[in-house]
């Protein structure tokens, strides 16, 4: 066919505009072709805003909400939730304390370094981690903590935690002891975290409906749920510098591990998701919302019906960026098989049963390879 348009000429003379990235997954490395074009904004059909005030409404209305969730989860598994019920003042208090923590001298943060942890709880310093092996080290500081029944908003007698549950817990106290010089840090951070646990226990019921299961289907699996909280600090670029091709990634391309993530992000922006065709789409902050995205464990349980989408963060701004993700999963000790509503004669289960704890362990072991 003769070349007649500028686009066709360019297609012949320009180098391919795709590059390959390697992702770490629990199943081993996965390779994806990604566009080198500048990311564009995601449109509402791709990452919708869903009003979840209906979560407390009648069953028929809850089912309608679940249908909207199901639809978006089989596309990108990324959506915003509005009217999520977490009070603004709790978010602001946690945000303020997070900044207080990160803006301390290094020596103080080192007291709670991840290097003292058995399970990656605590502080990770700038560029100490590289989530994506084919991208730069992460230009990010983080602080992460695990589910602890002592702080469960659904009060628990910590002496009565069943042994199989207790053996699978990853909570460590040194991160709170080592931050006790910041008087309001622990309370503000955990109070936000408790809101996330409560909201997730409600949302998991919407997910059950969305998967054509009884609403209470997952209730017994979230009594001591995987509930890792984190705060992420992405320093801004130097004023006057050219944030060009050499800009370090804030958090390299990855998928989340557990069932779903609730992400609060400040107004700076920088989150991007990878579309099926390999384009980066910006997921900009929308005031009053949280971002929800599906993780690998839920994708597996749904026989790949709900999608765990690759995402990354770049902070192109001169302003520091803060985000607070919360990673929700099932009780770490509980073996879970592919959901009955996601299999039939022509679509048998693709995966063996596994517990959320074993799944996370498998993935973390891959990082060290
Ligand atoms: O900071 C963000 O916006 C995203 C964080 C994230 O993807 C993660 O911590 O897994
Ligand atoms: Fe993530």
The answer to the question of residue 83 being in a domain is yes
Provide the number of structural domains found in the chain: 1
Helices (H), the chain: 6-13, 59-73, 88-102, 106-110, 163-168, 174-177, 185-210, 296-301, 356-367
Transcribe 226-280 into DSSP letters. EEEEEEEEEPPPPTT---STTPPPSEEEE---SSEEEEEE-TT--EEEE-TTS-E
> Does residue 323 fall inside a structural domain?
yes
Residue 264 pairs in a beta bridge with: 324
Residue 105 structural domain:
6-364
Closest atom of ligand 1 to 265 CA is 3
313 CB under 6 A from ligand 1?
yes
pLDDT score of 267: 98
Q: Is 269 in the pocket of ligand 1 (CB under 6 A)?
A: no
- Spatial contact of 332 and 168, defined as CB atoms under 8 Å apart: yes
**Residues in the chain with pLDDT < 70?**
1-16, 242-246, 368-369
Residue 251 Cα to ligand 2 midpoint, Å, equals 8
CATH code where residue 357 lies:
2.60.120.330
Please, which residues bridge with residue 229 across strands?
145, 326
> Which tens digit of pLDDT belongs to each residue from 149-181?
999 999 999 999 999 999 999 999 999 999 999
Residue nearest to atom 6 of ligand 1 (CA): 325
Assess: ipTM above 0.90: yes
121 within 8 A of 111, measured Cβ to Cβ = no
Which residue is closest in CA terms to ligand 1's atom 1? Answer: 323
Tokens of 231: 């705060």
DSSP 142: E
Ligand 1 within 6 A of 121 CB? no
323 lines ligand 1 (CB under 6 A): yes
Q: Please give the angle made by the CA atoms of 138, 141 and 144, to the nearest 5 degrees.
A: 110
- Tell whether ligand 1 has an atom less than 6 A from the beta carbon of residue 311: yes
Residue 265 lies in a domain: yes
What's the pLDDT tens digit per position in 269-317? 999 999 999 999 999 999 999 999 999 999 999 999 999 999 999 998 9
55 near 202, Cβ under 8 Å? Answer: yes
Q: Does any ligand 1 atom lie closer than 6 A to the CB of residue 263?
A: yes
Beta carbon of 124 within 6 Å of any ligand 1 atom: no
The reply to whether 369 falls in a domain is no
Whole-angstrom distance, CA of residue 4 vs CA of residue 109: 61
Nearest atom of ligand 1 to the alpha carbon of 321: 1
The SS3 call for residue 116 is helix
| Residue at 351 is within a domain | yes
Burial of residue 24 (CB within 10 Å: 0-12, 13-18, 19+) is buried
Q: How far apart are CA 208 and CA 341, in angstroms?
A: 10
- Say how many Å lie between the CA of residue 341 and the centre of ligand 1: 30
Q: Which of 142, 261, 297, 360 to mutate to test the pocket of ligand 1 (most atoms within 8 A of CB)?
A: 261
């Amino acid at each position: 066919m003769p070349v007649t348009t500028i686009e066709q000429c360019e297609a012949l003379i320009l180098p391919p505009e795709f590059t390959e990235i390697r992702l770490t997954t629990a199943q081993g490395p996965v390779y994806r072709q990604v566009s080198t074009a500048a990311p564009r904004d995601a449109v509402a059909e791709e990452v919708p805003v869903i009003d979840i005030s209906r979560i407390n409404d009648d069953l028929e209305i809850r089912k309608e909400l679940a249908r909207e969730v199901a639809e978006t989860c089989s596309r990108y598994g990324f959506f915003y939730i509005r009217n999520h019920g977490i009070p603004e003042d709790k978010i602001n208090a946690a945000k303020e304390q997070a900044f207080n923590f990160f803006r301390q001298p290094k020596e103080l943060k080192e007291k709670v370094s991840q290097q003292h942890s058995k399970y990656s709880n605590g502080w990770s310093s700038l560029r100490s981690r590289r989530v994506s092996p084919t991208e730069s080290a992460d230009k990010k500081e983080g602080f992460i903590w695990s589910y602890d029944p002592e702080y469960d908003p659904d009060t628990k007698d910590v002496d009565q935690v069943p042994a199989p549950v207790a053996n699978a817990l990853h909570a460590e106290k040194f991160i709170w002891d080592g931050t006790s010089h910041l008087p309001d840090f622990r309370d503000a951070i955990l109070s936000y975290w408790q809101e996330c646990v409560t909201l997730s226990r409600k949302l998991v019921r919407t997910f059950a409906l969305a998967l054509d299961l009884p609403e209470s289907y997952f209730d017994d699996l979230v009594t001591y749920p995987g509930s890792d909280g984190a705060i992420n600090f992405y320093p801004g670029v130097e004023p006057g510098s050219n944030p060009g091709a050499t800009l370090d990634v804030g958090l390299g391309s990855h998928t989340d591990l557990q069932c779903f993530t609730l992400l609060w992000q400040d107004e700076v922006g920088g989150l991007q998701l990878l579309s099926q065709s390999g384009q980066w789409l910006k997921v900009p902050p929308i005031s009053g919302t949280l971002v929800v995205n599906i993780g690998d464990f839920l994708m597996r349980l749904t026989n790949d019906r709900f999608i765990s989408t690759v995402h990354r963060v770049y902070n192109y701004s001169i302003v520091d960026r803060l985000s607070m993700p919360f990673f929700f999963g099932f009780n770490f000790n509980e073996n879970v098989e592919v959901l009955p509503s996601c299999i039939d004669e022509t679509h048998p289960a693709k995966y063996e049963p596994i517990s959320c704890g074993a799944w996370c362990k498998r993935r973390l072991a891959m990082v060290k390879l």
